[in-house]
Structure 1
Amino acid sequence: MGLNEYITGLKSFKGFAGDIVSHRTFDAQPAAWASPDIFPCFKNDLSPLLAGVGIKHLYTHQARAISLILDRCHTVIATPTASGKSLVYNLPVMDALISDPSAHALYLFPLKALARDQLDTVNKMLAKTGAVFSEPLTAGVYDGDITGYQKTKIRNHPPNILLSNPEMLHLAMLAHHHLWASFFGNLKYIVVDEVHTYRGVMGSNMAWVFRRLLRICRFYGSDPCFIFCSATIANPGQLASELTGLPVTVVDEQGAPCGKKDILMMKGLEGAAQTAITLIHAAVYRNLATIVYTQSRKITELIALWAGQRAKTMADKICAYRAGFLPEERREIEQKLANGELLCVVSTSALELGIDIGNLDLCILVGYPGTMMSTWQRAGRVGRGGNDSAMILIAHEDALDQYFINHPDIFFTMPPETARINPENPQILDRHLDCAAAELSLDADDPMLRPPVVQERVQALGRQGRLLLSRDGNTWFSPRKRPHREVSLRGSGHTIPIFKEETRQSLGEIDRHRSYFETHEGAVYLHRGQTFVVTLFDHLKGVVRAKEEKVSYYTRARSSKNTEIISVEKTCQVKGTRVGFGKLKIREQVTGYEMKSVSGQKSLGIVPLDLPELIYETQGLWIEIPDWIRQRVEMKFLHFMGGIHALEHAAIGMMPLLVMTDRNDLGGISMPFHPQLETAVVFVYDGVPGGLGLTLQAFENAEILMKRTYEAIRDCTCQTGCPACVHSPKCGSGNRPIDKDAAKQILQMLLEQKTGQRESAFVQASGPPLFSDIAVLKKEIHEKKTGVISPKRYAVLDIETRRSAKQVGGWHKAERMGVSCAVLYDSLENDFLVYYQEDMEKLVERLRQMDLVIGFNIIRFDYKVLSGLSRFDFHNLPTLDMLTTVHERLGYRLSLEHLAGQTLGLEKSADGLLALKWWQEGRLDLIVDYCTQDVRVTHELYTYGRDNGFLLFKNKAGHHVRIPVDWKLMSDLT
């Protein structure tokens, strides 16, 4: 009755008059039970186990999925929240473990809290197997919160069921697979819960984590069956298959019952946050267990803070919850919500997944979550066990929110979205190939290397020295033992910690890219209702410090950006314009931040910042705006730049109608003239280096995107533009300039123009790469920077000194060492020339004639010594320092003797200490012979690398491998 009274009171409340735009009731649905003829055929009698957890019957979807799993079919169960998916994977796993107690199962959850929550359920079921065995089957959690002792114990004696998360699989298990040999060798099932969360960056990373996992399993002789659990999305089978490279069967019918659910949509006339606070107070007053979802960490903290301040008697019943909280903080909140100590939790998406927080009555969405999948997933968090429930959507002043408020029928009939991943993202793929090679060397016949895109990236990594090819050319090795730490599965880069300035206590962490915009110096950072001002942002070391301070304002970063089209992959004609898709280079720089008052949103000023430019490559689409449209817009005295800027914002706002994303995953740039396209253009791009395939999906629906964008602008009732149509909450220029009317006119003209007209106004695409001259230009710039352009005449130089580093006071005083002799090989004369200290000017004159000077540690040593004997600036010579090249490739140095011995089978005739002894003895003849041999060895090493593209060395693991060198680019001696 409390829920019905709440809804009745809400609809009759005068303060919300005209605010509620839609109220629909979805009737309760009865259960669909599996008939005995389709009941799964377990190998063992599981009736005691089922009785122990109170299960008498299986739903139809449970029975079908379990039967598929028992037949060893990779299966994805895509049914709504609270439909009994955990039973689907637990029963087959228990059956397998009873038959083979040495078997193992791996349960993967995207959040640590989910794994710990599921452990209780698993242990209860395993306890029922104790009657069969003298020693019962075991389960355990392996995550970053357990002690080192516990981790060692689990590795040495892994439980039958191991519950973990993607990071632990990647960092601790695959990276150290030899410590898990028995576990991987007997792995029967891999359960992937909440697989719909493995999309975008994380999904693209997980596609390679799963491939690496399967590779390790094959190595130890196992062939596990995958079981996926998903929320309702359009392509669960495709997603699971793309994640693993395996065929996956889909079970998506719903057999579980559900209670009556009321769905209300509100305009949020008083502001979404203020409306939510009123709804919270009314719900807590009626003892309704409530969850409130917001779109950002900041608004999560603010709503919880304001709700508590305005009703102090309810303050201890309301709490914020978000990612970035410490593990112990999150678990305390979860427990209080489950046992009723808390009545309302205000959360980001962190509580969208299936953590047990008890039976909730009411879900309030402060803004549309960005996808229909998330909307119904969040709605499913209330009304568990067939109880009645309600969900209220409060619209933000956001383009997509307002679109649904104006078209509620579309909201209730929209199909679920397609989850997209992009495993071919080169930055992601490269990192995982490095990890895979570090785990097990990559042989030529390795299944992981079969796809052409993987072969292409392996070759590219080989040329960069990030993978090393064996002497025989059949096996690839990683140059590093543990590259795994450099891979962030959930973000575009590494995360960095945030500390309290006074105590160095951790306040959480933030993605490195986001840190430039949210934790720059002066930024206001919110944590559990407390405000902190960032006092230190060290982007080089990756550290943020903040001090607690009560302020009445918040901050928003201001930035500038530019883009370059690297290659055009696709183009299409849409009405009166052309739309393109391809690879872009984005340059973005945070130039300052704006302070805005919490009450009234008044700007309090802009503070400049001096931060480095962020440069990355990604995928994107662009809409060309022909010159004739610009002329017509300006003839009407409208602001053309403001118009295309408004079009950009509106298009990004409408993208989630077509793509499973939100505007924070996207970026945009509008330019009145783009030099490559020779016209005005609006770019929308994936906001992640390498791209995620989001804008590709939008490009394939470009006409729909443009029509929906036009409708959103046309139907908005504002006069000059607002967040419901053309304003963006993340605009780096503060939504200036913006001209809503100009944007509407531009889109109207584009969409009314017939296809094929005015094509002469466009630069004709010639296919990828469209701008081939860019590559030529880059090559010319590179050659000018290196000072090396196809040397016709080159020298190889080595010197011996009269004094040691110790004698002159250290290596940093090498200019005092003097020269006993210098030997130079002249490629034009094909001869070895000897110079003594008194011949330095002759040596300088000879060096001036060379197109290239080659040496081993020549820049840091030889030139340093020679600078003490001549005023000539040796560093202006076009130089190839072979030691520097090797160091840049490997990250560590190798000696000339090692490289010559492994590559050529040659040895040095002496060493530097012996040469110093000979100088003291006056044996110049021996020094010259020794120095000449060094030059000969260096020259042969150079020519070998030039002709073959690699040198050979023996790595720390004892493998004879190639190190790539690109000296051919600097040589043309034929």
Structure 2
Amino acid sequence: MRAGVARDLLTELSAPLTRRGCLTHIEERPRRAGRQGSFPEWTDPRLVEALAGRGITAPWIHQEQAARLAHDGQDVVIATATASGKSLGYQLPALTAIGARELDIRAPRATALYLAPTKALAADQLTNLQALADQAGLRDVRAAVYDGDTPTEQRRWIRRHGTFVLTNPDMLHFGILPGHEQWAHFLRALRYIVVDECHTYRGVFGSHVAMVLRRLRRVAAHYRAEPTVVLASATTANPEISASRLIGRDVVAVTEDGSPRAGLTIGLWEPGTVARVDGRGDPAAWEEPDGDGGAPAVDADAPAGDEEAPARREDPVRRAATTEAAGLLADLVQRDVQTLVFTRSRRGAELVASGARRLLEQKAQQTDGPGLVERASRIAAYRGGYLARERRALEDSLRSGELRALASTNALELGIDIAGLDAVVVAGWPGTRASLWQQFGRAGRSQEADAGALALFVAREDPLDTYVVHHPESLFGVEVEAAVFDPANPYVMTPHLCAAASELAIRDGEEEIFGPTARELLTTLARRGVLRARASGWYWTLSESAHDLTDLRGSGGEPVRIVEQATGSLLGTVDAASAHTQVHDGAVYIHQGRSFVVDHLDVDQAVAFVHREDPLHSTHPQSASTLRIRQVEREAPWKDGVRLCFGTVEVTDQVTGYQVRDVYTQAVLAQHPLDLPPRTLTTKAVWWTLPRELTEGAGIDAEELPGALHAAEHAAISMLPLLATCDRWDIGGLSAAHHEDTEAPTIFVYDGAPGGAGFAERGADDAAAWVRATADMIAACPCAAGCPACVVSPKCGNGNEPLSKPGAATLLGLLRQE
């Protein structure tokens, strides 16, 4: 797409009567020329020649700086924009080291290990890496992906002969470190560890990866290897601090981006109200709520799922972001603009793709245009849960241009590198500014002089989304968040200490690599009989695998397989933590645009049996929650008798039933009970307690108080992602007019991960700014009684009752510190 065309296209998209007023802000990012350095003198000449054949006659300045630091043995993090060529920063030193023996037999052997957060990213990197090595004639570069999709025979070959192995933290934990003896040949020569997209390692997942990397360093040291770590990150705050915490030693940051940048036109888009939308038929006829099956909680916003359940309200309802994104996608594909749509959930991806196809097919009937039918067939969905062969086929089709559009979850945020992608549509806040810019960066990857691209952020009817589209200053010119995670989380560290001891006995003094609390935890484990303490250190003695104690991604256990009962075919999987809410008995499940109904969820066998059906209803799980305070770690006076606390809490949540709603009207048709076991979570929380006399003095009587607390809790949860690298679905909350542990009106916000993920603590650290943004958001919302753009929550098991927006505004005024 030529520069300037993107803005014209944006104006054209917003021109119809049905979309008048949707575009709230346009931002232009001009094209930027690149700044080149020079290839380091030690670079393999064959590599320089191969790169020249690709038109790369010199590296960008950040690539050169990172490569030189890594070659000198300095751990380094490259934190520059999407498509800035970070890969070359580690490829230059790694490929040069691996190929050195071909030029000089006296050179030491060298290997490299690459870690990616997604399979798609590792597969794409393999393609690019192997092509470069082949073009340069580097015969010793034997690159291969080693992950869950790798056949057994190929795994054996990789262990024996691989010199550049690409994998992920999960496979490193489950498949490489436990059997490190089989990797001895590779580990003895390990020169570089590459940690790509390291900004994604946040929360409890980041804490787990930090422990895995420490274990890798320890095992490498056992084989007398001291590999240099090269990390690549999207632009983020204080990347050297986050990277240092991730690997456990000091890291130097390279942040000056020398790459050229194509022009990018960015639009912030707020969908119109349903009442104003015409010309597309009844959107409810094909639309589902944004989301992927959630877990609402009684008197709580629980982080167990990600359903955007519509709530009852008197104010005009805005079109769902998925509906708007489907319409925009249809219009873009009609104009032959290759587009990638990011959605918040698996269900959202399916609905955007099927909705866009349906709209184009309807237009084809109206205009008798066969070309539109053909273009509709070139739109697909992409998400986790698909089988590997489905994902690879979709990636190849998008790369070749055969597919004109994909609607994807964030599975492609860090995935394949595509040239010529014209537009990106982000349907709903992706969780952090870093993720939003990463997704925007999928567009405009061409470095042609006149290249331009379009990026659109489409707001959900959600407090944070609404705040962003009406406060562009919160997005543009603001530093992105720093990654938040806690490597010292005992719930994370404890199983990793067991895994480390089973890999190699932890000798006295070696425990320091895991952190200052490791010794205390090792002593506790020995006292419990899990480890055996000897004068020389700690040993794993149990018969079961220590590695099975750890769930890196916090999914809560074995993934649940989704099986079509009639044929026995495997449709996909869903993580264990979401299974109770997404594939419970009677749930409607969508796969590649087709609907299935769950006949039975077998919790013990981790399998859900489904049958094909197109019901005219959707299902929405309901749950109940309780919270108990286990330990107050910090407590401080706030103002006027209010106290701010932080500590450990225990949250018990149980899916108790589900509602059946009409797909057209969202009217509740029925409610069915479920008999599922409760799930208990011990985690960290931040909470405020307010004296009853203070709330009464402000005019909040006993009848209004529960609704005021509940609404303030919803609003606070929705705004915390502005401060921490969390998503609304990473945290939960609960409020009570009289909590049994505090004996006072209380608002809790807690991390949705065992032991905590650092989000609640971040809120406690910057509570004044958090309260201020929450109060401002409620005050700015024009609704009278509360709506999804301020205090109505998409995951409230109480049906958003009781809620008092005026009471919440008054309550937050009591908490606000000027």
Q: TM-score, normalised by structure 2?
A: 0.88
How many Å separate the matches in 2 of 1:613 and 1:443? 40
Tell whether 2:534 aligns with 1:476.
Answer: no
How many Å separate the matches in 2 of 1:613 and 1:602? 28
**Residue aligning to 1:119:** 126
Q: Deviations over 1:728-759 (max 9, x none)?
A: 1111222111111111111123337x9xxxxx
**Residue aligning to 1:834:** none
- What RMSD, in angstroms, separates the aligned Cα atoms of the two structures? 1.9
Tell whether 2:151 aligns with 1:147.
Answer: yes
Does the Cα contact within 8 Å between 1:491 and 1:511 map onto a contact in 2?
no
| One-letter amino acid of the counterpart of residue 142, structure 2 | T
- Alignment identity in percent? 38
How many Å separate the matches in 1 of 2:255 and 2:565? 51
How many Å separate the matches in 2 of 1:638 and 1:288? 55
Q: Deviations over 1:563-622 (max 9, x none)?
A: 111111112333332110000011111111122223232222321212222112100000
| Residue pairs, 1:638-649, within 5 angstroms | 639-649=704-714
Tell whether 2:506 aligns with 1:434.
Answer: no
Q: Deviations over 1:877-920 (max 9, x none)?
A: xxxxxxxxxxxxxxxxxxxxxxxxxxxxxxxxxxxxxxxxxxxx
How many Å separate the matches in 1 of 2:226 and 2:702? 69
How many Å separate the matches in 1 of 2:744 and 2:249? 45
**Residue aligning to 2:805:** 740
Q: Offset at 1:559?
A: 1.2
Tell whether 2:482 aligns with 1:418.
Answer: yes
Tell whether 2:366 aligns with 1:303.
Answer: no
Q: Offset at 1:129?
A: 4.3
Q: Structure 1 residues 731 and 5 mapped into 2: Cα distance closer, same or farther (>3 Å)?
A: same
Q: Structure 1 residues 449 and 106 mapped into 2: Cα distance closer, same or farther (>3 Å)?
A: closer
**Residue aligning to 1:177:** 180
Q: Offset at 1:263?
A: 0.9
Q: Structure 1 residues 356 and 44 mapped into 2: Cα distance closer, same or farther (>3 Å)?
A: closer
Q: Offset at 1:503?
A: 2.4
Q: Deviations over 1:337-370 (max 9, x none)?
A: 1111111111111110141233211111111212
| Residue pairs, 1:89-238, within 5 angstroms | 89-100=90-101, 102-130=109-137, 136-155=140-159, 157-238=160-241
How many Å separate the matches in 2 of 1:509 and 1:643? 40
Tell whether 2:342 aligns with 1:293.
Answer: yes
SS in 2 for 1:621: strand
Does the Cα contact within 8 Å between 2:500 and 2:506 map onto a contact in 1?
yes
Structure 2 unaligned regions, length at least 5 = 103-108, 274-318, 362-372
**Residue aligning to 1:854:** none
How many Å separate the matches in 2 of 1:301 and 1:477? 46
**Residue aligning to 1:491:** 554
Aligned counterpart for 2:331 among listed residues 282, 286, 291:
282
Q: Deviations over 1:141-160 (max 9, x none)?
A: 212222211111222x2322
How many Å separate the matches in 1 of 2:220 and 2:82? 31
| Residue pairs, 1:323-402, within 5 angstroms | 323-386=384-447, 387-402=451-466
How many Å separate the matches in 2 of 1:433 and 1:635? 51
Larger Rg: 1
How many Å separate the matches in 2 of 1:648 and 1:680? 12
**Residue aligning to 1:622:** 687
The structure in which a higher percent of residues are helix is 1
SS in 1 for 2:392: helix
Aligned counterpart for 1:566 among listed residues 624, 630, 646:
630
Q: Structure 1 residues 403 and 635 mapped into 2: Cα distance closer, same or farther (>3 Å)?
A: closer
Q: Structure 1 residues 748 and 137 mapped into 2: Cα distance closer, same or farther (>3 Å)?
A: closer
**Residue aligning to 2:571:** 507
Q: Structure 1 residues 14 and 153 mapped into 2: Cα distance closer, same or farther (>3 Å)?
A: same
How many Å separate the matches in 2 of 1:637 and 1:564? 23
Q: Deviations over 1:167-221 (max 9, x none)?
A: 2211111010011111001100111111111111221111111111111101111
| One-letter amino acid of the counterpart of residue 30, structure 2 | D
**Residue aligning to 2:70:** 69
Does the Cα contact within 8 Å between 1:41 and 1:67 map onto a contact in 2?
no
| One-letter amino acid of the counterpart of residue 169, structure 1 | L
How many Å separate the matches in 2 of 1:140 and 1:750? 56
How many Å separate the matches in 2 of 1:653 and 1:84? 35
How many Å separate the matches in 2 of 1:229 and 1:451? 24
**Residue aligning to 1:80:** 81
| Residue pairs, 1:598-747, within 5 angstroms | 598-632=663-697, 639-747=704-812
SS in 2 for 1:628: helix
How many Å separate the matches in 1 of 2:485 and 2:721? 15
**Residue aligning to 1:520:** 584
Q: Structure 1 residues 64 and 473 mapped into 2: Cα distance closer, same or farther (>3 Å)?
A: closer
Does the Cα contact within 8 Å between 1:370 and 1:661 map onto a contact in 2?
yes
Q: Structure 1 residues 247 and 672 mapped into 2: Cα distance closer, same or farther (>3 Å)?
A: same
How many Å separate the matches in 2 of 1:633 and 1:721? 20
How many Å separate the matches in 1 of 2:572 and 2:550? 19
Larger displacement relative to structure 2 (291-300 or 43-52): 43-52
Q: Deviations over 1:295-335 (max 9, x none)?
A: 11112111211221222214312111111111111111111
Q: TM-score, normalised by structure 1?
A: 0.74
How many Å separate the matches in 1 of 2:44 and 2:9? 49
| One-letter amino acid of the counterpart of residue 142, structure 1 | Y
How many Å separate the matches in 2 of 1:475 and 1:590? 41
How many Å separate the matches in 2 of 1:455 and 1:439? 17
Q: Offset at 1:642?
A: 1.0
| One-letter amino acid of the counterpart of residue 216, structure 2 | L
How many Å separate the matches in 2 of 1:439 and 1:737? 53
How many Å separate the matches in 2 of 1:686 and 1:174? 29
SS in 1 for 2:659: strand
How many Å separate the matches in 2 of 1:196 and 1:11? 34
| One-letter amino acid of the counterpart of residue 544, structure 1 | A
How many Å separate the matches in 1 of 2:555 and 2:415? 25
How many Å separate the matches in 1 of 2:635 and 2:357? 53
SS in 2 for 1:732: coil
SS in 2 for 1:556: strand
**Residue aligning to 1:540:** 604
Q: Offset at 1:468?
A: 2.1
Aligned counterpart for 2:254 among listed residues 237, 251, 254:
251
How many Å separate the matches in 1 of 2:526 and 2:532? 6
SS in 2 for 1:749: helix
| Greater RCO, CA 8 A, separation 6+ | 2
How many Å separate the matches in 2 of 1:626 and 1:633? 11
Q: Offset at 1:543?
A: 2.3
4+ residue runs over 6 A deviation = none
Q: Offset at 1:644?
A: 0.5
Q: Offset at 1:631?
A: 2.5
